[in-house]
Amino acid sequence: MADDPKQNDAPKKKGDSKAKAEQDQAEPTEKKQGRLSRLRFSKKKDMPGGLWLKCESCSEVIFRKELEEKGRVCPSCGFHFTVPGRERIAMVLDEGTWREQFAEIEALDRLNFIDSTPYSEKIARTVKRTGQNEALLCGFGEVLGKPIVLAILDFGFMGGSMGEVVGEKLALAIELAIRDRRPFVVFTSSGGARMHEGVLSLMQMAKTCAALKKLNDVGGFSICVMTHPTTGGVTASFASVTDIVLAEPGALIGFAGPRVIATTLKQELPAGFQRAEFLLDRGMIDNIVARDKMRETIARLLDYVDEAPYESAAAAVRHA
């Protein structure tokens, strides 16, 4: 909270104009973000069009097609790019096993929220662009022959933010897992709660945890895979309290966004701050799993539990 930076930090704070000019030349588009630009937290929901693009981590120019063929992992530095929801389903599930549920539920602008444009218009545009009704996709599927309920929080839909419908669909998906006695697997990429839905989106943190509590009561098993980026009310609710929490390499994971922290503290953040490796080191997640090993890892984990976990009366009592 100290307003005064340490003495030796001072020159950087005031903005070393020469260094800044150099930076501006190198990164004209990031000019306005100033010193925070190096956080490389891109708000771009999908990769920009064109044949080539720049890696957000190593800045290497990559052939777009190559990146997509490599599962959106940077061929140069191994950075795991955010994956669109539909692509993730194809990556994780056995072919032809996906049966989507609750796809028809549409977002609703209950507060009549308007900033630069009405929220309802934003939803309509996003629905049209993405071809899906909300940021959460959920349904039945199989991983190497093992049946699961899968949920994907898709960053491409309003930053994967959690509003009422996302929270509701998560709870419904967990209830499907309870009913059909399947493990629940969720992939997150999200900026957190959706502020356009005000306190109703905050309440989804409680709703999703309530659903998970119910799953625990009957001895159900849950896995969350946090992918780049997972922050705010999503990290601070269901995503952090599944039985197993995995992360993809390099994923940004945290409560407050790095920009908020940097602005509040008025200081540079340490290298690697809030990355998956940082969280693993601090004991906050169970493991980091590379994308090409994700399918078999999930199947391996399911091997430990598919012996009728739901039958376990002990589990029910323990969580009661």
Partner 1 sequence: MNDRSKKKGDGSPGLAFERPIEEIEAQIAELESLSLSTRLDISSEIEALKARLRETIDKTYSELSAWERVNVARHNKRPVANDYVTELVDDFFELHGDRTFGDDAAMMTGFATMEGRRFLLVAHRKGRTTKERLECNFGCAHPEGYRKALRKMRLAEKLGLPIVCMINTPGAYPGIGAEERGQAMAIAENILAMFSLRVPIVAIVIGEGGSGGALGIGVGDRVLMMEHAYYSVISPEGCAAILWKDGERSPDAAEALKLTSKDLLELGVIDEIVNEPLGGAHRAPSVAMNELKRVLLRHLDELIEIEPEALIAGRHTKYRRIGAIEGRFPTVAPSLGEIDVPPRGAAAPDSNGSAPGLTSRVEGADGRAQRRGGGAGPGS
- List binders of partner 1 among 246-285 (CB under 8 A): 253-256, 260-261, 264-265, 269-270, 273-274, 278, 282-284
Q: Tokens 């190559």 — which residue?
A: 66
Sole window of 11-19, 72-80, 81-89, 106-114 interacting with partner 1 (rule: CB under 8 A): 106-114
Q: Of 241, 280, 288, 299, which lies in the binding site for partner 1, with binding defined by CB under 8 A?
A: 241
146 versus 319: smaller Cβ distance to partner 1:
319
Cβ contacts of 113 within 8 Å, gap of 6 or more: 119, 196, 197, 198
According to DSSP, the residues that pair with 139 across neighbouring strands are 100, 150
Told to check if 127 binds partner 1 by CB under 8 A, we report no
For the chain, the helix, strand and coil percentages under 3-state DSSP, each to the nearest 5: 45, 20, 40
Q: Does 201 bind partner 1 (CB under 8 A)?
A: yes
Tell me the closest approach of the beta carbon of residue 177 to partner 1, in angstroms. Answer: 9
Write down the H helix ranges in the chain.
10-14, 17-26, 64-69, 85-92, 119-130, 164-180, 198-217, 232-235, 258-265, 276-281, 294-303, 313-319
The whole-angstrom separation of Cα 41 and Cα 190 is: 12
CB of 244 to partner 1, least distance (A): 14
Q: Does 307 help bind partner 1 (rule: CB under 8 A)? A: no
Question: Does 238 interact with partner 1 (rule: CB under 8 A)?
Answer: yes
The residue whose two tokens read 């194809």 is: 90
**By CB under 8 A, is residue 3 in contact with partner 1?**
yes
Phi, psi angle pair for 215, to nearest 5°? -60, -45
Q: Which of 152, 176, 289, 294 lies at the binding interface for partner 1 (CB under 8 A)?
A: 176
CA–CA separation, 261 and 216 (whole Å):
34
Does residue 133 interact with partner 1 by CB under 8 A?
A: no
Task: Please report how close the Cβ of residue 172 comes to partner 1 at its closest, in angstroms.
Answer: 6
Of 284-303, which residues contact partner 1 (CB under 8 A)?
284
> Which residues fall within 8 angstroms of residue 246, CB to CB, at 6 or more apart?
223, 224, 225, 226, 285, 286, 287, 288, 289, 297
Taking the complex as a whole, the smallest distance from the CB of residue 138 to partner 1 amounts, in Å, to: 11
From the CB of 96, what's the least distance to partner 1, in Å?
17
R_g of the chain computed on alpha carbons: 21
Choice from 102, 288, 295, 306 touching partner 1 (CB under 8 A): 102
- The answer to whether residue 172 forms part of the interface with partner 1 (CB under 8 A) is yes
Site for partner 1 in 66-95 (CB under 8 A): none
Options 56, 197, 243, 248; binder of partner 1; rule CB under 8 A: 197
Closer to partner 1 by Cβ: residue 33 or 76: 33
Is the bond into 48 cis (omega within 30 degrees of 0)? no
